[in-house]
Amino acid sequence: MTDDRIEGVARAGLGRIQDAAGGLVGDPETQARGKLNQAAGRVQDAFGKAKNRVTDGLSAAGDYSQDTLEDLADIVRERPLTAVGVTLGVGVLLGLLIDRLGR
């Protein structure tokens, strides 16, 4: 659990306590402050969850790209002439495409 999530859950809990205390003593201002803290805590917790998902996604993307790069390096080591031929072919195709777009 990230700091944002911990703070969000704690703030929402504090808000529930404030809301209940305000209701017990009949203080609408304390109740309102409690409801506000509950809402802010839920938002902060949701932000923390979203941040975790983005971080996890970026980590997975990094792992995938690293694996792909390693696979490509293995292919080049196993078949260097094929790799050079494919690279040359891609270069020629890109050159032709750029030439046609420039006209």
pLDDT tens digits for 52-93? 999 999 999 999 999 999 999 999 999 999 999 999 999 999
Average pLDDT over residues 40-50: 95
Average pLDDT over residues 33-42: 94
Cβ neighbours of 44 (radius 10 Å): 20
Domain ranges of the chain: 3-78
pLDDT of 97: 95
pLDDT of 103: 75
Query: Are 34 and 21 contacting, i.e. CB atoms less than 8 angstroms apart?
Result: yes
